[in-house]
Every structure is written in C-alpha cells, then in structure tokens.
Structure 1
Amino acid sequence: MYNKSLLIENSHKRSEDYGIEKDSNHSKMILHGDELRKALELNKELIEISKPYIDMVVESVEDRDFIIILTDNNGCILYIKGANEIKDELGKLNLKIGAYMDEKNIGTNAMGTAIKENRCIQITAKEHYVNIFQSLTCSAAPIHNSKGEIIGTLNLTGKSNMKHPHTLGLVIFGVTAIENELYRIKANYILNQTYNYMKTVIENVDKGIMIVDTHGKIININELGLNILDKRNHNLINEDINHIIPNFQNVVDKISKNNKPITKEIKLSHASKYKTEVTFKGIKHNEKVIGIVATLTRLKEENKGNNFTGAFFTFNDIIGESDAIKNVITNCKIIANSPSTVLIQGESGTGKEVLAQSIHNYSLRKNNKFIAINCGAIPANIIESELFGYEDGTFTGGKKGGRIGKIELANGGTLFLDEIGEMPLDMQVKLLRVLQEGRVTRLGGGKEISVDMRVIAATNKDLKKEVKRGKFREDLYYRLCVIPIKLPPLKERKGDITKLIEYFLNMKSIKLDKDIPVISNELYNKLLGYNWPGNIRQLENSIENIVNLNGELSVDIIDEYEEKVSTNLTIDNKEILEENIKENIKEKSFNLEEIEKRTIINAIDSNKHNMTKTAKALGISRNTLYLKIKKYNIDVK
C-alpha cells in the first residue's frame, strides 16, 4: 500500500521547486488557436473512444455537482463534460480545454500527480498546491496504451464537500473501459493485418484457416474453412466461435499459459460424416496473446458419431503440489481404468468435475463420451427423461422420434452424476436398477438397452448422514461408494494457495486484457491466511475481482480472517441449542421462531457479541444473522 501523505508531501516539494506560486489562478501554459487545434487533432482517437465511457461515468454521478476532464499524456485538457452551471463555475478557475494540468504548470492536482506517479489518486482541498483549487476534490487515473505507456488521464472534479471514495472507483471504471476499447481496436487491427498478410498464401493451401480474437469472435476465415464448416453461404465474420467449437476460452487460457499450440480432433455437428483436426496457435503482441489462428483439416470419413468427448480437463490442469492433492491424483490414476463406481466427496468449489474429467481422460475410455448431469439443477419432473430418454409420442410436445437419454449417450464412456445427493428418492431406485443390471429402458418404450459405462458420482453432502435422515437410499450409497475419493478443501491445501493465486492472476489478466496487478503484502497475506469456505471457486472469483481493480479488492471477502473461527457449532453452542429446546419442551412451547430467537440470543452472549463468531457458530452468514436480529428485535448493544 502506498503512503498518500508522503506522496502529497513529495508533490508539494516538486511544485515548490518548479516555482509554482500558491496564489496563482491559472496554468502557466494554455493552448489557443492553431496550437490547440493541433493538440486536439493529435489526440482525436483518444477523445472519440473516451466520449461514450465519459458519458457513462457522468450518468453515474450527480452531473450538476461534477465535471469530468480528459487530458493527454502531458496534462493538456482535451475534453470536458458536465452540466453547464458547474462547467461555468469551474471555468472561472481556468479549468478549460487547452490548459495544462501537469505539476510543472499548476502544481499538485489529481491529473498532474496521476501522470507523475503513474497511479490513480484522489486529491482534496488543501492537498492541492495552489489556493484556487483548495475548494475542490479531484479523482484521476492515468490511461495507458497497449505498451503500458501513459497517453492521458481521466479526472472527476467537484466541490470538496462532495468527496467520496466511490468517485475514484468510477474514474477507474471509466479508464479500464477506455483502455480495453483501445486494446480491442489495436488487437483487431493486428489480427486483420495478420490475415491480410497471410491471405494470398492461405487461399492456396489444403487447410481451413480462421483468425479468432481472445473473446471468441471470428475476425476472418478462408474459403476452405467455410467449406469444412459447411458454411459456404454464411458470413461468419464477428460470429462467436463457441457455436462451432465449444470451450474456446479454455483453449485461449492454455495457449496463454503454456505458449504452445494445441491440436484437437473434433466432430463438427454440421459435418457429421467427417472428423476435423483443429490446431490452435497464438498470435502475440507485446508478449500477450491477442488472438488465435485456428487451422482446420478434414480427416477421413467417420460414422461413429461426434468425437468430441465432452471432457476437457486432465490431471495436468489440477494446480497444486501439496501432499493432500498429490495423494488424490495418485490414487485417481491408479483406479482410472477400474470399471467400479467412484464417489467424489468434497466441499463446493473444490473441483469435483475437473477431477472426474481427469479420471476419464486418463482411462481407456478417454476417446468415448464423458456425459455430465447435475442432479440438483434439473427439475424433478424431467430428470427421469434426461437420464433414460423417451420414445416418440411419450410426451405432448416431445421431440419427434423420441430422445436418447444421458445414460445411453454415456455407453462406452463415463457418466458423471454431479450433486448426486440432490437426486429424488424415486429416481434413486431406478438408477440403482440400471447400475446393477447394466440395462436401460426409455420412457414409453419396452425394449431394454444394454449399456457399458463407468459411473462417477460427486457430492458436497455427507451421504451417510443423508441415509440416516431418510434422504438417500442406503443400497444406492454402497453401490456408488465402491471407490470413495475425498477431495480436500483448500484450507487443507495451504501450500497450493500461492500457486493458485499465481495461476489465476495470469489467467484472469489474459481474460480481462489487463496487466498482472501488484498486490500489497497486507492483502497477499490475507489471501494466504484465509480459510476459503468457497474453496477454489471463491479464490478464482476473488482474484478476478482483484485483477479488475488493479490489485485491490472491492469487498472484504476475508472479513476477520485472522480469527479463523470454525464454521461448525462449538460444544458450548450445541449445548445452548439443546438447552433451548429442553426449555421449550418443558414449557410445552413448540414455536420454532421462539426457539430460534432464544438460540440466537444465547449464541450472541456465548460469543461475547462477536457477530462473526456467532454467525459461524450458528452456521449462517453475518447478513442472515443481522436480518434475524432485526426480525426478532434483538438488542445487541
């Protein structure tokens, strides 16, 4: 974290050395006439690209109270937006187009100091050097080109009593949007230049060529590429490649990380007679991947159906070197070729599907289908048809000719049953029968179809407890849990957090077209010390948040992390709950709200009014705790 007081002090010292008078009422340098027109023409692209995003920022504040200013890299004001009344008022302070706001010409102010320090900054009241600006608050951030060079600043200025941290956040948002647009335009120009350079060659080769940007937008494609994709009469320019080649972002991430081409054999759904080999290579600019060249080669005739298995991840994609994760990977490699069912147990966000796909891709079934179904995401009334399929005429509005179920689709491959603990009890009986007999019957049909599949199930629940509660069948549990795999939570993989942070910083910086941010020691230590209840998914989202905000975190997701309070009920709190229930039974009062109210009051007292400990002891979030305190009008003072 930087020391703002020291930064202001140093800026004031520079202003004094530059000979700036504190009573000055205007910049030493203000352009007029031809000189001003020349400066505006030179920065025409920056001005035009910035205007829409400036409008977005202005709409987010009370525009009668603020003006937003765009400068060039020397601090010369290029554009001002805001209500006329505030523009006129601030115009009296000589904040006008053509005025130079760098420290050498007007002393310490947000625009000039942002350029000098190359950082976003908010300067208010007496932090300004000249007296005329000491009634203002200014928030500015430098704008960079694709080489990381400063090309201007964006600044939000208003009366000093309007100071608020969110104004700097709005400026950073505007700058980020402008930089992304500049980068996109530059990248697309390079991609088109790449294609035009190659065009005379690629129209005469026996391969299809596509140029795709990092967001999956097709920039250009040759005639043979259109033929292979069976899109001869279509204009694919600006179309999303994910409609043709799924999981394209994973390809971009892998190439950016490893800097190596990726070759895949896939079956394009619109060209069912052929397999297609696709090789992806990165196009780099300033050491960053800005696009992909996809080379398509049609292979021999193939009539076995779609060859894209549906499993993208391998054990190499699992980041970590802790003993906990190494043991899991070793055991999974050992059992990968076993036909026995596997039950992966682990908290939400630990990567259960990544592990399941890795097992599939390490097995002899890797060239066959990996079919995943989320048992908790499909409504109970249609999960049966999803799993078993149905014959023509079974349902009103059903697909003509019927539909093959997920179990049949997985024949020869792997069926992944995610969130198996959410499967309805009646479906558990039917699934058990399929697992025992190896045959499936479509709904509305009478024919039994033999299936050979490897079943991998996953859950974040304790299925033994679910069995005791009558929520899960005991016979199905033992049928699934032939090979149990426990995926450790991130809090048990402390040595892996550093590597995961590094990996996600790289990946998210590429995804967001931003430089890898510098994280302060304070925040970095918090990331390492936090228990991560949301595991890898939570860490990934947090790092994306940090990359978006250039090294900061918008919300304190690691609130009071150092206390490392257990999320389970303590012995004392269990006793409190039991005592509350006993008291209500004794009084013959079975009002659930009254029991809950007493439990919350006693938990607060037991945890000495520490709301974080109380919430975790009760197994609820702090927001939920406060809502319940309000609901029951509990005095927590």
Structure 2
Amino acid sequence: MPQYDKETIALQWRNLQAGKPVDSQSIRTDILVSWKHSKNLGIDAHKGLHHKGDGDALLKRSAELVSVAQPFMEVINEIIAGSGFRIDCIDHEGFFLCSCGDPTLLKESEYNGFVTGCDVSIEAIGTNAAGLSLSLKKPVQVFGPEHYNINLHNLNCSATPIYTPDSELVGILNILSYDTPQNRQTLGLTTSIAKAIENQLALTRTVTSLKVSNSELNTIMEYLPQGVIALNKLGEVDRYNKKALEMLSIPQKSGIDQRKNQLKKNLSALDLSRELRRQKEKEHTIAVGSRKKSFVVNAHSIENGERTLVMLEDTGRIMSLSAVQSNRTSYTFNDITGRCAGIIKAKELATMVAPTDSSVLLVGESGTGKELFAQAIHASSCRSNNPFVAINCGAIPADIIESELFGYEPGAFTGAREAGKAGRLETASGGTLFLDEVEAMPLSFQVKLLRAFSSKSMVRVGGVNEIPLDLRIISASKVDLIEEANQGRFREDLYYRIATFPILIPPLNKRGGDIRLLAKQFLKQLSAEYLRSDIYADNDFFEALQSYPWRGNVRELRNTIERAVVIGLDQQQLTPAQLPQSLKEYWISGKLRQHAKTTLNHHPTDKKSLLKIAEDTTIAMVLEEEKGNISRSAKRLGIARSTLYQKIETSDQILSVVKSDT
C-alpha cells in the first residue's frame, strides 16, 4: 500500500481534476478507483455538502440503530473528550443520523454541513470514508486530499460498517477530525464500537422477540459478549452467564448458591428500580473483591415485568480503546529536521534512550519542539502500541489537578460523576506519560506525584485501594529545574526521579542554517496544504528570517511562514514584503548596523557625525537595493526626489553607489 503523503496525494488529486494522468503507485487502489468512479458520475468536486430536509423521517426510519448506537457513542465521547474528534452514526444509505463530540468541533462541523440528513454517499459527494465503507462493506480510513470533494481536504475520517444479526448492513460508525491525526488505532476504535453496537442490536432483538425456552435462553446468554444476569420479579438471581462471573471475579467452581449470593451482593449497589429499567447504558461502580470496578449497565424489563435482564460491560475495556486520544503520536525522529550540532546531539541522545524505560527530561524554550521529541521517543519504544498521554501541567488549575491525574471514586466531592472517573495516570498505564511544562506543577502536589512514580501505584481521590501503574515518564521544562529547586519552587527529589536522562533542545536562534532548512520544509508542507504548486522565496526572504531572534522558536517560524503564504497566495515567490513589519524592521536595522560598521572601518578618521554616517549609510543601502532607481528609493526613504538628488551630490559614499549602478 502506498505510504500516505499529503503533498503527493494533493498533486494527484489536482491532476485528476485537470484530466491529467494520475500516478497509481502513489495512491491507494481503493481511493483511486473511487476517485475515477466519482469523476465518471460527474460529481462536482467543489460543491458544498448535500442536505436532506426531512431529518425526522430519517431518524424514525433508523430508530433502532440510533437508540442502540447513541449510548455507546456518548460513553466513548466522554473518554476522549477534548481530543479533537467527532463520532457519527450514519445510516445504510449514507445519511447522517446523530453525532457527539466536543461542542466547538460539533459547531464547526455542523457549519460545514455535517448535520442530521447530510448525504455523504459516494453518489452525493464522491470519495469519503463513510461512503467508501458503505460501498466496500469494510472498515475504511480516508485522509485529507484523498477525499474527492475539496471541502473535505482538511478532514481525517475512519469508518466501519454496522450489521444486524441477519448480516444486513444497517449503518456506519464514523470518527471525524480536522487537525487531529488518525492512525490504525482510530480505525480499531471504530471497529470495536461498531462490534459493540452489533452485539447490543442482537441482544435487543432477542429480548424483544417471542419468548424462548429456558435452554435457548441459556445458550444465547453464554454467547453474548456482555455479562448477563437474569433476575426474577422478587429481585433474586435466576440465571447468569460465565462472562458475568468472570467480570465480577466469582469462581465458577463455587457452589451455585454461593455464586447467586455473590452476584446479588455485587448488584446490591445498583438501583434496579422501575425507573432504571427504562434507562440504557448507565455507568455504575460495583465492588469486586478489594477493588471497585466501573461498568456500563443496561437493564431490560421483560415478560411484562416478570423478569429483568441486567447486562454488564467493563468500562476498562472501553477505556483501553481510547487510544484515539492517548495514542496520538504523529511524529518520529524522521520528522525532526536540523543539521546544527545541538539538534543532532539531541536526536542522538533521544534515539539512544528511546528503547529503554528511563525517565527523560526535555529542556528547551517554548516552541523548540519538546513534544515532537517526546512523541518520537514513544514511537521508537517498545510501548509504541500503548497509550501516549500528554498533560500540560500549566493548563490544569491547581485545585483539580489531583482529580485529573489520579481520578476519583464516586461521591469523592461535590459535582463528581456518579460512577467516578479514571485519571490520566491510570489511562496512560502501559504506555508513556508526557508531563509538559512540568515546572508549573503545584508544589503541594509534587510529593504525591513522586510517591506514585516511586511506588508505581496510586490511589484515586476518595479511594483507599492501590491501583498499579506501569508508566514511562517523559517530562518537559522551559526553565532550569535545578535552579527552581534551589529557589524552593520545585522538589529536588522529584527532579532526580524524572531527570534520569536530560536532553537539551537548542533554541532556534542558536541553530544557524536550520532556519532556512525549516522554512523551506514549511513552504513545501503549506504548498500541499493550500493545494498550490511549490511556493518559493527569494534570498532576501530567507536572510530576513535568519536575522530575527525568534523568541517563539520553531512554532513562531512556522506561523510566520504560514502568514506569508496566505498573504502571498497569488504569488509564486515570496519576498520580505509578506513578512510581519516587526521582522522586516529588525532585518533592515541589522543591515544598517552592518553597513554603518563597514563604513566606520573603512573611514576611521572621517569627521562626519555619527548621525550623518547613519543617514548616508541608509540612503546608500536603499539605492543599492533599488539598483540606483531614484523614484523607488525616494519613496522608500520617505523623501522627495529633489532632496535625494541633493544628498547624493553632497556625499561621496552615496555617489559611489549610484555610479556603480549606472
């Protein structure tokens, strides 16, 4: 399969639209076939998304799918909150039914047309993940310009079909993101959710079908992936499956009465009232041995209320699928560009430590690429298939940082979720925990974090049971933590715990020629992003960039390049004119200083005042840049042409420049 290369794919997409040959070696076969099919259908690749007005009719037609899928979507959405993803349920014809996700993301995507009734079939908008998944009847991912419609080129999508127990394709489960990358784990998540929805559809249809015999019911229960417990009208345990015993850690070798009593005891925490029996997919915490475990509980009242079926789904398994948020590593060491000694040394050290479990401390100014290094280390480690959880310690308020990182038990504080919540450390277990801006960690919390790292275990807020942790710690700081420790603002013992392997990342203004190298790389990336042929820049553009101190480092450079590209969208070559005024002034000021220094070195006994030297130097520099053109030079200097002529005649320094250009 061709490796995904956004720039190459965007070029092939433009070739297709222009009727030019498309390189089949650089495009995935399914995508290329779908592109050609879309073009043969005469689909307008620039048209907005289709929309069917009768959303209510569509929801009514797919009421069973929506009722089953929505609770699963909401559970997953709560786990991946803030990760930049939207989860959609789409019917068998390609019409959007329901969605959930971050409110800001939902608002943006709805503005772009992704609302109930939106038609995303191949016949409507061409190649896209949901439409292709419906067509091919298999899980599909479509990235950026692989979409046929240009309005979708900023999207990444993963889609998986949903089938009924009769193997009828009933819909699609889709995960959509704008800036957030997607990977195989994202597709795995959609597949897992789709499978859970299929299982629930099967169970729902079984429960609502005609009565079955006891032996048939027992057989069905044993094959269900959920733990199932049947209660009689008195609330006594009547039947159960092996999965329920396994989930609740009840030995199958114990006596039948013991098993039923233990099941009843485990369920005593649930309010199996008539009100609950009308609800679906509620999260509850049940005591299992010395620990509390979180389950998604679904209760069905059947046989006119004579019996209740209680289904248990382990939320720990669902949380393990949250790799969409916690496994978002997008960078490897190949993505770290630079030839200066400092960056080469940093890459060598990071590559050396990556295969180990040693704690790494990345030290560098803001914007130098510390998270890029952290992701590359994780991607090269034996934990690469496990979670990568990034935490910005400076972004979490001090009063909630403990509950965010350690999680909490039910009722731990006012406003806590009924079933409690797993913390970031628990989610990251088995993988890598990245603590960005670790210097901002509240001093009062540092001792608790140190204990968790040292003991490799933690206790949720309001809990008493130790939860084991298996973490690789990578931290990042933009200040000297030893100095912070000397000032009493950071615990010295925590520093030595997280800084087994410190790596210094140099600031951009210490990287010399890397500025030009990075600028060219960003220009190439942005050319593809804005669907342009390669955008170039003149030498003055790069010289201006290299003269600037770059307090915001690589992040500021990237933003500056993007601004220049946007301003110069109608131009093939960028010049300093597209750069911010402050940067241009810094560049010009530097050139003036150099010119003045050169003049003073050549004329050490010159009796002209420093002010006159500076003026003549400025005029000479502008005339030289404008190749002696008086009109353009006068305009840049902000003086009249006659005034410029007078100054030329009275200065040998300026006159020599004019003569050399004529």
- TM-score computed with the length of structure 1 as normaliser: 0.47
- TM-score computed with the length of structure 2 as normaliser: 0.45
